[in-house]
Amino acid sequence: MNASLKARADRAAIDLMQIDNILNPSRPNAAQIKAALGVVLAIGDTIRELGQVSAGELYANVAGHMDLASFEKVLATLKGANLVSESAYMLRWTGPKLEPRK
């Protein structure tokens, strides 16, 4: 495929993605996905470092940054990955024990 044809095909693909984003605004973009994974990682790391923490106490510390439904989705993600368990609103790290880097 010559360079001109490839460039036109690349532009067409980008145009199609932009149209798809306009028609389907509920689809997250790469930056939104990266941000969401960062939130899951941060909350997971907090639970891991503490060993266990009350779900209410943890939510109280992030309530200014996310709503309760989002917080519950993060916890569901961590529990679904078998990294966190919950009993009587107490969150416990059940994932691998990670040693600090030396």
pTM of the predicted model, to two decimals?
0.70
Domains delineated in the chain: 29-93 (1.10.10.10)
- In angstroms and rounded to an integer, the radius of gyration of the C-alpha atoms of the chain is 20
CA distance 78 to 44: 7
pLDDT digits (tens, 9 = 90+) for 47-60: 999 999 999 999 99
Paired with 53 in beta bridges are 91
Q: How many CB atoms lie within 10 A of CB 44?
A: 19
Q: H or E stretch including 84?
A: strand 84-87
Confidence of residue 85 (pLDDT cuts 50, 70, 90): very high
pLDDT digits (tens, 9 = 90+) for 20-29: 666 666 778 8
Query: pLDDT at position 21, please?
Result: 62
- Mean of the per-residue pLDDT values for the chain? 82
